[in-house]
Amino acid sequence: MNETPATDGMEAKGVSPEKPVVEEGGSGLRPPKQERSRRTLDRIVAAALELLRESGVEGTTVSAIVKRASTSVGSFYARFSGKDELVRYLRDRFRGEVLARWDAGAEAVDWPSLPLSARVREAVALLARAYGEDWILGRVLDGGSGRPGEEGGWWALDFRQHVLVTLSQTLLVPEDEVLHPRPEVALETGFRMVAGALRDAVEVDGAMGKEAAPDPLGSLARELAGAWTAYLETSVAVEPEDQREAGTDAALRPDQEPTPETAPTPQPAPSAGADFFDPWG
């Protein structure tokens, strides 16, 4: 199919389709006022998202989008100048929807009535839902690099910061339930652990297919919630490297032989009841 602008049914009837208003740095598509035009846009968006999930940006064409949307090439170009503008529009729309879904899920939880362990379970469940439903599409729309400041870095920056604000207000309150001496560090470290594990499960288990991994996030989320809760409840933190005393192995030069003055002090082996996250405590 020739992917060039053409007239559709709206133009044939003498109705001028509403042109997108493009703003600098984004799509800036003006919401259509006519019901028929809104339905057409919704079909184009739904078809594009399905194809992007299946084939990525490079593998998705305008002709495939309009075919799946049961509309015409002219109808597409009446709204977007091309596939790149459509991707920018979908990216902006998608990001807003992801944050809105997160906020709606968080607002539905009665956080103050729950103990810490239950709050962590709810938080991990929300993260599992976000990564399970949106991570792959988000990476496709953002270019796939995932590096902060580049295409694909939205999850590493905006989404992460938005989520951490919510979790600091729900997991760290009341303060007496969090025994970790540095609660904010424990919160961010736990988020990194959970987010990384969920991404791995979505990418690896999802690539194996639903038959091999029918519920890649269910049991994993429960394990992650338990680990994060234990970390928040531990009362001992590993000493930062920059606070280690002079004369430890970290202070030795590579070519320096240990002496009685510089040799590391032997540490006792962890006891059977040592904390999982701090075996040196």
> CA 233 to CA 181: how far, in whole Å?
10
pLDDT (average), residues 65-73: 95
Give pLDDT, residue 257: 57
Q: Residue 48: is its pLDDT beyond 70?
A: yes
Cα–Cα distance for residue pair 194/171, rounded to 1 Å: 14
Mean pLDDT for 14-21 is: 38
Please tell me which residue, 108 or 143, carries the higher pLDDT value. Answer: 108
Share of the chain above pLDDT 90, in %: 47
Does residue 221 contact residue 125 with C-beta atoms inside 8 Å?
yes
Tokens describing residue 66: 């309009």
User: pLDDT digit string (tens) for 173-215?
Assistant: 998 999 999 999 999 999 999 999 999 998 887 654 455 555 6
pLDDT of the residue at 266? 55
pLDDT for position 82? 92
Residues whose CB falls within 8 Å of the CB of residue 109, separated by 6 or more in sequence, listed in order: 119, 122, 126, 170
Please give the pLDDT value at position 17.
39
Least trusted range by pLDDT, from 112-126, 166-180, 231-245: 231-245
Residue 21 has pLDDT above 60, yes or no: no
pLDDT tens-digit map of 125-181: 999 999 998 888 888 887 754 454 455 568 778 899 999 999 999 999 998 999 999
Distance between alpha carbon 212 and the CA centroid of its chain, in Å?
Answer: 23
Q: Give the residue-averaged pLDDT of 118-126.
A: 97
- Residue 144: the pLDDT is 55
Residue 8 is predicted with a pLDDT of 41
- Greater confidence (13 vs 244) lies with 244
Ranked by mean pLDDT, the top range of 15-29, 72-86, 145-159 is 72-86
Ranges for all domains in the chain classified under CATH 1.10.10.60: 9-83
Superfamily of 9-83 according to CATH: Homeodomain-like (1.10.10.60)
pLDDT value of residue 235: 82
Which of 76-90, 223-237, 249-263 shows the lowest mean pLDDT across its residues? 249-263
The whole-model pTM stands at 0.69
Contact 194, 228 (CB under 8 A): yes
Q: What are phi and psi of 24, to 5 degrees?
A: -60, 130
